Amino acid sequence: MVIAITERAARKIQEILAEQQEQDLCLRLYVAKGGCEGFTYGMAFDRERREDDQVIEANGIRVLVDPLTLHLLRGAQIDYVRSMMGEGFTVRNPNAVSTCGCGHSFKAVDDPGEPDPCDHPQSLES
């Protein structure tokens, strides 16, 4: 499969879609340049298919992906996890050679993206 969505993630997406009360919404997966590793993951609902989008059907969810996203997320799995630290969607991306600590940013082997410097608090002197 090009991009997989686990049953758990599909159920959560369907739950959120039901709250939207709009017909024909698709899940748009995308990557954007930025983040501390070079690319960031994104998800949104969209009803418009762009000319260069590919439509993927995964566990009953229609997913729209542009060519860059398809290239960087080929073989990835979208899951929904719950833990003591919280809950949310996670991406298991076989194309990522490094990720940030929170898992929202990654670096790909063949494209470094455009990393943003992390802002670290400065120590205050008295």
- CATH number of the domain residue 61 falls in: 2.60.300.12
Residue 82 lies in a domain: yes
Residues 29-47 pLDDT 10s: 999 888 777 888 899 999 9
In a domain, 119, yes or no: no
Least confident of 75-79, 88-92, 103-107: 103-107
Boundaries of domain holding 102: 3-108
Whether residue 31 is contained in a domain is answered as yes
In a domain, 117, yes or no: no
pLDDT in tens, 63-89: 999 999 999 999 999 999 988 778 899
Give the C-alpha separation, 26 to 54, whole Å.
12
Number of domains in the chain: 1
pLDDT for 29 equals 95
116 occurs within a structural domain: no
- 123: in domain: no
Structural domain contains residue 84: yes
Cα–Cα distance, 107 to 84 (Å, whole number): 27
Q: 26 - beta bridge partners?
A: 46
pLDDT at 123 over 50: no
